[in-house]
Amino acid sequence: MSIEDDIGFLESVPTFRLLGPNALRILAIGCESRGLASGEVLFRAGDAADCGYVVQDGAFRLDPPRSGGPLVTVGPGVLLGELALLIDTVRPVTATATEPASVMRIPRQLFLKMLEGFPDAAYRLRDHMAARAMETADDIAQVRAGLDPGR
């Protein structure tokens, strides 16, 4: 893929769409591509997370650390490890390729440098994440109210 193709692909990721093409150019130039075979593990639950991955091709099964949890399969255009782009954290799931796959690895340091250089993108990202946090809080309150009808 060319840099322009990579920028176009990154624009298809909802979180990255907010950043704008110039900021995405920095990510496209600095990211690393990696191919995985079917059955290969991208990362394990509990691993330190210092980057995000965007699925380019193929699919990944996301397994929670405890058995019995829901299994999720994700494909192209999905950002794995969004929070790891901003802060030190650990992987909450194990990601295993279910078929030959490729990912773009975006190191946290690259992402943070990009935000420093594009403060408007950082503000848009902050506002987006704050809105999502508020929606999640509202969803939790609704579930709680449904579980405790006496409230």
User: How sure is the predictor about 68, in pLDDT bands with cuts at 50, 70 and 90?
Assistant: low
Q: Return the percentage of the chain with pLDDT > 70, whole number.
A: 95
119: number of Cβ within 10 Å: 9
Structural domains present in the chain: 3-147 (2.60.120.10)
Ramachandran quadrant class, 105 (left: phi over 0; alpha: psi -120 to 50; beta: rest): beta
pLDDT in tens, 74-115: 999 999 999 999 999 999 999 999 999 999 999 999 999 999
**pLDDT for position 122:** 93
pTM: predicted TM-score of the whole model, two decimal places: 0.87
Tell me the two tokens of residue 135.
């929606």
The β-bridge partners of 89 are 49
Q: How much is the average pLDDT of 125-139?
A: 88
143: buried, middle or exposed (CB in 10 Å: 19+, 13-18, 0-12)? exposed
